[in-house]
Amino acid sequence: MSYEHIAVEDPAGDREKAASQGVVPVTLTRSGGGGLGTVAGPGVGAWPWGGRIPSSTLHRDRRWGWGFWGGVPFRGAPRLSELRPWLSGGAAGAAGGGGSSGEGGGGGGGAEKGGRVRCSRRVWVLLASLVLVFLTSLFFSVSLRGGYGFNYLEPPGWEESRRVKLVPSYVGAHRLSPPDTQQQKTCACSRCIGDPGVSDWFDENYDPDISPVWTRDNMQLPSDVYYWWVMLQPQFKPHSIQQVLLRLFQVIPGRSPYGSWDPGRCLRCAVVGNSGNLRGAGYGATIDGHNYIMRINLAPTVGYEEDAGSRTTHHFMYPESAKNLAANVSFVLVPFKTLDLVWITSALSTGQIRFTYAPVKQFLRVDKDKVQIFNPAFFKYIHDRWTRHHGRYPSTGMLVLFFALHVCDEVNVFGFGADSRGNWHHYWEQNRYSGEFRKTGVHDADFEAQIIQQLAKAGKITIFPGK
């Protein structure tokens, strides 16, 4: 007769409940001397240990009364295979010593020895697991600190010979965090972007330590940023980032011109979008009165000075929208692929590249010392924390707005959103119904509009709505 489930129950136990669980109930008689106990019940004679077990291997079980224990306590009904290693020694003692409870002491010792062996194995397995966890944690800890040459965070093509420091989280720390105290202002403006405690929502998402500019000091991208960025336009095969940037920084300075917070400074910035609501708004003089005036892509000013202003300090473009700029204007390249970095190097030197997915300028007339590269880590920071993955990636307008929020003390926004009639078009277009850029499917214009309104509500920007 074979019993797969066995429980040892005292006379007061619930036999019917045990039977309903598929458990064979038996009765235990414990010896007073701590030697062997005697088990009686159906089929006990078929047990290899002759119905005798060491009383030292018993404990009180809450469900079924007495249960076996061989180094690790358990409840309910153990399988026979689990009992056999602990009681085989008892079986041998019973076979050689007879049937009384006073005999078979050697068998009891064997059972206890088997329990100790089983216990020691579990201890060794546990110790080995702890050592493995410790070594794994040590490996990742050293890797994150850049020690011992571990380069699992480096994108393909990153060579060990010219490694640069990796700043935690999003790379590119060039600004000092604003003071922790709410009483101390971060600038001399009436309202400062860096002042904490004004908006919990803003403070939770705003990272003052990330540089919007890609420089020599933050060339290396975290692997998640790198792979996200190169997949923005996956049809282009990535080049070696290190080699491309090293060549580029031989042509342009590769430094960030933006400093730390200055309580004595009030740096006012105008972010000028291309919305048709600028037409007839008469914001030209107001826009020109800012320290920094940031424009996007085509953004003509000649002929639109009264509404859009005439001055520009920063012009944000990508290769396919690039144009020549005056010597006093900073060209900020917004790269979507490594080919864009190759192009800007070529356009400022050899002129080898004339085409990406569209014709591009072979040579670009801009001030090389004023060329800046938009940091892909900053790009992803906006996508993660602010636009929250709405759309494939943020619009250029959102990129420029948050660029300003990280380099300026005060930001005023012009030319964003629809006009007063709900039309989306550019201010230089004669047909106000021709603009369909809102429905590209790449950006979520409605969600971005909500973020802009929330920034205004938080007191971090001022929106000039136009007409």
Residues noted as catalytic: 393, 443
d(CA 64, CA 51): 18
Distances in whole angstroms, Cα of residue 342 to Cα of each of 234, 241, 245, 354, 359: 16, 10, 9, 11, 15
Q: Which of 225, 232, 195 is nearest to 210 (CA)?
A: 225
d(CA 305, CA 10): 98
Burial bucket for residue 205 (CB in 10 Å: 0-12, 13-18, 19+): middle
What is the phi/psi pair of residue 388, to 5°? 55, 40
Looking up tokens 């291309």, which residue turns up? 274
Render the burial of 151-166: b for 16+ CB within 10 Å, e for the rest: eebbbeebeeeeeeeb
Do residues 259 and 408 make contact, with C-beta atoms less than 8 angstroms apart? no
Instruction: Give the angle 445-451-452 at the CA atoms, nearest 5°.
Output: 85
The DSSP line for 344-405 is: HHHHTTT----BSSSB--SS--S-GGG-EEB-HHHHHHIIIIISTT-BSS--HHHHHHHHHH
d(CA 355, CA 362): 8
Q: Are strands 36-40 and 24-29 parallel, antiparallel or unpaired?
A: antiparallel
Q: Is the dihedral of CA 45, 48, 50, 52 positive or negative?
A: negative
